[in-house]
Amino acid sequence: MQSRPSAILMYHSLDQSGSPVSITPEMFRAHMRILTGQGIPVVPLGQAASKPGSVALTFDDAFRNFSEHALPELARYRFPATVFAVSGFCGRKNDWPGQPAGIPILPLMSWSELRDAASAGVAIGAHTVTHPRLDEIDEASASREIQDSAGEIEDRLGLAPGSFAYPYGAASRAVRELVDSRFEYAVSTELDYASAASDPHWLPRIDAYYFQSEALFRRLFSASGALYLQVRRGLRSAKGRGAAAPTVEERGAIRAVTGSVLRGLVKRLRRPGA
Ligand SMILES: [Zn+2]
């Protein structure tokens, strides 16, 4: 029996749009209530991988609705969290070039809102200056995106960011070396649990979008939850390959899902636009 994994949850926006980067504020509150109810330790990002059965909370892009809907909940439960800010877009909207269609354009936290969050104990991590795919720009530009975002966060907040999130989970080898040397931790969008074996500079995360039901979120650390994630991962990589149909292994995983709860969940797997 392997030791229990931990989970680094990835949130983006807390809103009602139903978009691929959104979950509702109500569902977020339910997640926090369930974590407390189940006695799951919520730890800072840097501790999650080495603490089996723990959860860390991360929020990409620093949407203003974090201040409105997440901060009060985090304060209520005294949960630590990390917000990854796009330094060139603070106080603006998430309308950077390359934003896919179907993503709502919403206000992002200003520097003073980030400062308030930091004073409330939220860690502010870097997420580049303009949110490019770092594997598609030249190395000098990528270096500026990484260094300048960290530099401005340090200048504005008086605290050097210890962590970095790769936009779109995209990186070349050279980019990863830059990030490794600058930050203590970096998070990817690899859909998986974390463990002591995880690379601290390529930490896997679990997209909260996939857990938009209380029944499902309660199974985060159960065998059925792990199987559900395995199926989601399979479907996501099928999409990445441009394939319409699940592979033999994915069909096998789906067939293996026999519990009544999971049968209902498989119906949810057809997620548009993810
Ligand atoms: Zn992002």
Q: How far is the CA of 2 from the centre of ligand 1 (A)?
A: 32
Q: Are residues 205 and 226 in the same domain?
A: no
**Mean pLDDT taken over the chain:** 90
Question: Residue 254 falls within a domain, yes or no?
Answer: yes
Q: Are residues 65 and 20 in the same domain?
A: yes
- Count of Cβ atoms closer than 10 Å to residue 39 Cβ: 7
Q: How far is the CA of 61 from the centre of ligand 1 (A)?
A: 5
Q: Are residues 232 and 203 in the same domain?
A: no
Q: Are residues 229 and 194 in the same domain?
A: no
Question: Residue 266 falls within a domain, yes or no?
Answer: yes
Q: How far is the CA of 217 from the centre of ligand 1 (A)?
A: 23
- pLDDT exceeds 50 at position 260: no
pTM reported for the whole predicted model:
0.89
Q: Domain holding 84: CATH number? A: 3.20.20.370
Q: Are residues 52 and 85 in the same domain?
A: yes
Question: Residue 2 falls within a domain, yes or no?
Answer: no
Residue 237 pLDDT class (50, 70, 90 cuts): confident
Question: Residue 269 falls within a domain, yes or no?
Answer: yes
Give the model's pLDDT for residue 236. Answer: 84
Q: How far is the CA of 131 from the centre of ligand 1 (A)?
A: 6
Q: How far is the CA of 220 from the centre of ligand 1 (A)?
A: 23
Question: Residue 202 falls within a domain, yes or no?
Answer: yes
Residues 6+ apart with CB under 8 A from 40: 53, 54, 55, 221
Q: How many domains does the chain have?
A: 2
Would you state the structure tokens that stand for residue 160, as one six-digit string?
């050097």
Among residues of the chain, what percentage have pLDDT more than 90?
83
Q: Where in the sequence is the domain holding 120, given as residue range(s)?
A: 7-212
Of 212, 234, 257, at which residue does a domain stop? 212
Q: Are residues 161 and 262 in the same domain?
A: no
- pLDDT exceeds 60 at position 228: yes
Q: Three-class SS string for 181-234?
A: HHCCEEEEEEECCECCCCCCCCEEEEEHHHHCCHHHHCCCCCHHHHHHHHHHHH
Q: How far is the CA of 133 from the centre of ligand 1 (A)?
A: 10
Of 184, 212, 240, at which residue does a domain stop? 212
- pLDDT exceeds 80 at position 201: yes
Question: Residue 143 falls within a domain, yes or no?
Answer: yes
Q: How far is the CA of 112 from the centre of ligand 1 (A)?
A: 20
The per-residue pLDDT for range 77-114, each reduced to its tens digit, is 999 999 999 999 999 999 999 999 999 999 999 999 99
Q: Are residues 108 and 82 in the same domain?
A: yes
- pLDDT exceeds 60 at position 31: yes
Q: Are residues 141 and 253 in the same domain?
A: no
Of 212, 235, 255, at which residue does a domain stop? 212
Q: Are residues 135 and 260 in the same domain?
A: no
Would you state the structure tokens that stand for residue 146, as one six-digit string?
């990484």
Q: How far is the CA of 216 from the centre of ligand 1 (A)?
A: 25
Q: Are residues 266 and 196 in the same domain?
A: no
Query: What one-character-per-residue DSSP string does the chain give?
Result: -PPP-BEEEEE-EESSS--TTEE-HHHHHHHHHHHHHTTPPB--HHHHTTSTT-EEEEEES-BHHIIIIIHHHHHHHT---EEEE-GGGTTSBS--TTPPTTS---BB--HHHHHHHHHTT-EEEE--SS---TTSS-HHHHHHHHHHHHHHHHHHHSS---EEE-GGG---HHHHHHHHHH-SEEEEEEES-B-TTS-TTSEEEEEGGGG-SHHHHTTTTSHHHHHHHHHHHHHHHHHHTT-SS--HHHHHHHHH--SHHHHHHHHTT--TT-
Q: Are residues 95 and 144 in the same domain?
A: yes
Q: How far is the CA of 251 from the centre of ligand 1 (A)?
A: 31
Q: How far is the CA of 130 from the centre of ligand 1 (A)?
A: 10
Please tell me the least confidently modeled range out of 23-37, 117-131, 151-165, 230-244.
230-244
CB-hemisphere CA count at 13 Å for 143?
7
Question: Residue 192 falls within a domain, yes or no?
Answer: yes
Instruction: Give the mean model confidence (pLDDT) for residues 110-128.
Output: 98
Q: Are residues 41 and 127 in the same domain?
A: yes
Question: Residue 19 falls within a domain, yes or no?
Answer: yes
Would you state the structure tokens that stand for residue 57, as one six-digit string?
């909370």
Give the model's pLDDT for residue 238. Answer: 78
Q: How far is the CA of 167 from the centre of ligand 1 (A)?
A: 5
